[in-house]
Chains A and B, each alone.
Chain A
């Protein structure tokens, strides 16, 4: 059977999407591969198809638990039973069970924390893997927007002689990051596939305001007049709730979404959004991963994203169906200060370094800083990693350069806000690529009429909250589907 027939047999597709065939062919030939494919372009197929061709398990290292869960769910939905996720959700006996039968799985998903555990490493070394996949590989680079210290140690674990080929996947990586990935993973002359980051059907709008109230008023007005489905990104949990309440009062079917909500609530929102019973989601950047919705028409940034890569990934959730979509960047005076502040929150301070040393000398667990609420979990992860690597004063230098980096990242976003020439060109250049063609209604600077892209809002369907039925009807409808 040739590749196309195999694609149809296992996935039911007739055609490859751009890049998939090239990447799969190189993987099957045993080469190391680095693939840069925009979100929603079928990255996972690049290792799933080889998984059905090889007779040995594929190991997928994935940094985010929610992402891992989503990929496992998707595979299981396709009736794949030989899939397992090794992560901190497993209890001791579940983990033991999974490790005992590890060689029988087709797809083994693993988090970086698990990968560095001694017994897991031993087990992985004892079985023959066909391929090692590093998902969201930009996390390995401290220049990447989502740096994960644990990811640096992947190299130590998988960088052996006679290792299987490595496939590094990312949606957003600059040239600098690509270099880091290659180096840290000891990749051998990797085949590199880089798809253009440009998404011609996403039109880039921008509005600048004097103050926050004007911005909010304009946005509420815009949302009540134009068509969804859409996502509004804002920076804080409480803001997602406040904005969604204002929209609800305007009769718009919307809900808030943030990382502080419980798992079940988050699934309800995703399901409602996908089914179409919600038109708008007001979210922090926790929303988006694993939301497979093709017809998102608008993505609005109510607050400034902390870097260009984040911005790219978030607007990339619009128009997956290939039809016109609108990305709106809203800015009011001094928004960048807040974005910088939010970025700093994820970084440890000099004070944290001193405190870490203090606890260390008292022979106490520095981890208690997290429990005491002195530092965020993400920040502590970064702190603990560097405290193991470097002496305290060098850690402080490191942190200060990371801080500068974060500030610079926000300033790069500000270039989009201030741009007088094509915003699309600026975005593409940021990733070291060149833009070949501009669509009509390209961006705010080239000329953009929103009404050419987005239809006016028409429907006034009921909010799910307003539907009334008694509890007996609800359970009856659920069970009997009448």
Chain B
């Protein structure tokens, strides 16, 4: 069960410092300050929002299974502990190439465009230009119409070019052949319908949940390949328009970021925006996580940054309360900032 493995990995990274529900919010991509900060603190970018439609029931079932198999123990206060059995499971874990933080469900937009483009070109090849579009979203339909026109589909060469790009880019992906097949099976065209999740599941002898997870991670990996080599994939690159989230800040945080970049201090921003200081600090933490150029030393001295990192190493915890007790002269805000940026110091 890939789903269980993913849960296990997330629980492992949370290090028992969050409740049993935290992975659920992470996978659903909850837009709360807590979840977003946890992404930075515990380095969980890849799993953020990969299952936006995950039902709580499905999640709870998977947790119960972990408990039954004695991999996980749920504690009374809603926290949890991993057992020794979990450690051996973690070692044999093959991780899927998710990039949830940068796509956040937009991979489906890419696929919707692709599937309508393929359906249209397939019908054109069969000289059958009247068909019922597989994608019902008007905006996707308009986008595809425009794409076909600007790329001169009437000339009849688009099929061959797109085929070459798809084959080349997928050949470059270091994923199982089965994963590539899965994505291709979700496409349809003239007299060829796609396969449902149930059908793919039956064919590949994997659960529907696992197939969904492999499918999404393959799309993420494929998108990263396309975006890294824009010049080589002229057509596919167009299909990725507005799919990758480059400054993934929440609406309010981006307003704070704007003011901050214009030189206003945290106190000033709090006054201007009539928001609590702590809220503005949340926004700054979010900004620090997302902007590689963010200069932390304007808030925390270099030596203090080093002290926080040492404290984390020593105590094996990222719990704010513990760290604050060790470094009482630093504010919670300062510690959170360092933790949010933690990964930049690790290597």
Contact = CB atoms under 8 A, between A and B. Distances in A.
B199 interface: yes
A474 B191 CA distance: 13
A467 to B, nearest CB: 9
Given A256-B198, A261-B196, A475-B163, A94 B138 contact: yes
A449 interface: no
Contacts of A470: 177, 181
Contact of A264 (B134, B177, B192): B134
Interface in B169-204: 170, 177, 180-181, 183-200, 202-203
Contacts of B170: 471
A69 interface: yes
Contact of A268 (B159, B195, B202, B203): B195
A277 interface: yes
A451 interface: no
A265 interface: yes
Contact of B184 (A241, A466, A475): A475
Interface stretch (B16-24, B81-89, B92-100, B120-128): B120-128
B193 A271 contact: yes
A471 B192 contact: no
A466 B205 CA distance: 12
Interface in B80-137: 115, 118, 121-122, 125-126, 130-134, 136
B322 to A, nearest CB: 37
Contacts of B192: 477-478
A161 interface: no
Contact of A464 (B126, B139, B163, B195): B195
Nearest to B132: A73
Contact of B195 (A76, A244, A465, A476): A465
A295 to B, nearest CB: 17
B180 A255 contact: no
Contacts of A267: 134, 193
Interface in A13-40: none
A89 interface: yes
Contacts of B126: 481
A255 B199 contact: yes
B193 A479 contact: no
Contacts of A160: none
A265 B196 contact: yes
B160 interface: yes
A42 to B, nearest CB: 19
A275 B138 CA distance: 26
Interface in B320-334: none
Given A255-B196, A464-B199, A481 B122 contact: yes
Nearest to B194: A268
Interface in A421-478: 464-466, 470-472, 474-478
A275 B193 contact: yes
A481 B187 CA distance: 14
B67 to A, nearest CB: 23
Contact of A479 (B139, B159, B183, B191): B159
A126 interface: no
A272 B125 CA distance: 20
B213 interface: no
Contacts of A241: 198
Interface extent on B, as a size class?
35 or more
A479 B153 CA distance: 12
A79 B130 CA distance: 8
A252 to B, nearest CB: 13
Nearest to A482: B125
Q: Which of B136, B162, B199 has the most CB of A within 10 A?
A: B199
Contact of B196 (A78, A269, A475, A478): A269
Contacts of B247: none
A77 interface: yes
Contact of A478 (B118, B181, B203): B118
B184 A248 contact: no
B167 interface: yes
A478 B189 contact: yes
A389 interface: no
Contacts of B163: 475-476, 479-480
A162 interface: no
A117 interface: no
Interface string B222-234: 0000000000000
Interface string A349-377: 00000000000000000000000000000
A263 interface: yes
Nearest to A278: B193
Given A277-B193, A471-B184, A474-B181, A465 B199 contact: yes
B71 interface: no
Most chain A beta-carbon contacts within 10 A, residue among B118, B125, B170, B192: B192
Interface string B155-169: 000011011001100
A335 B52 CA distance: 38
A146 B338 CA distance: 60
B132 A275 contact: no
B138 A77 contact: no
Interface in A269-323: 269, 271-272, 275, 277
B321 to A, nearest CB: 33
A443 to B, nearest CB: 35
Contacts of A245: 202
Contact of A77 (B132, B187, B190): B132
A142 B294 CA distance: 64
Contacts of B184: 471, 474-475
A464 B198 CA distance: 12
B116 to A, nearest CB: 11
B193 A268 contact: yes
Nearest to B166: A475
Given A94-B138, A264-B194, A471 B130 contact: no
Given A94-B138, A255-B199, 19 more contacts: A73-B132, A77-B130, A79-B130, A90-B138, A248-B202, A255-B196, A255-B198, A264-B115, A267-B193, A268-B195, A269-B196, A275-B193, A464-B195, A464-B199, A474-B185, A475-B163, A478-B192, A479-B118, A479-B159
10 contacts: A265-B196, A268-B194, A271-B188, A272-B193, A275-B193, A465-B203, A470-B177, A471-B181, A475-B163, A479-B125
Interface of B: 115, 118, 121-122, 125-126, 130-134, 136, 138-139, 159-160, 162-163, 166-167, 170, 177, 180-181, 183-200, 202-203
Which 5 A-B residue pairs are closest in the complex by CB-CB distance? Answer: A271-B193, A481-B125, A478-B189, A265-B196, A471-B184
